[in-house]
Structures are given as C-alpha cells and as structure tokens.
Amino acid sequence: MPLFIVSYELKQPRKHYVDLILALKSYERWAQILDSTWAVVSDQTAAEIRDELWGMLHPDDGIFVLESGREAAWQDVRCENQWLRDHL
C-alpha cells in the first residue's frame, strides 16, 4: 500500500481539531511526523484522503496530500525514524 504525506495549516488556532486527529489515527498505519504533518498508509488516492479529511477542517484551513516517492531526508521528527524507513 502506498504511503501518503498529509500536511495541513489550521487557521483557527483556538478550535480543537479532535476529529481530524482521530481520522488520521484511524488509518491502518500512521505516524505523526511534525505537529501538522502526518504519514498514512492507505489504498485510497490522494484526492480521496484529502476529501475525507477536509470535512473536519475549517473552510479557511489548508490541506496538502502527497503520495510519497522513494527518497526522503529528515531530522528531529516526532515519529520513529525506523517507521519512516520501513514505509517510504
């Protein structure tokens, strides 16, 4: 299954985005990379993931979903380095 990078920008800082976090954690495999950047493994397309998560965001927010390639570099991320290596 492909790995997708999901990044979002929340324009309503006081609003709680509990449903968004729960939705990201509902994927079979997931990891939080940075505060608003996640990796999810899914059979869905990038557009399907975007549409599913968009329903939990405020209309002024932004979201970006990218099917991952094979090359990446990172430093000081929130998830385990091995998880990223295994799923890229």
Q: How many helices (H) and strands (E) does the chain have?
A: 3, 4
Q: Is the pLDDT reported for residue 25 higher than 90?
A: yes
Nearest to 29 by CA among 68, 83, 85, 75: 83
pLDDT category of residue 79 using cuts at 50, 70 and 90: confident
Domains and CATH numbers, the chain: 3-69 (3.30.70.2360)
> Has residue 34 got a pLDDT over 80?
yes
Which strands make up the sheet holding 29-34, listed edge to edge?
A: 29-34, 37-41, 3-9, 62-67
- What is the three-state SS of 29-60? EEEEEECCEEEEECCCCHHHHHHHHHCCCCCC
- Model-level pTM greater than 0.85? no
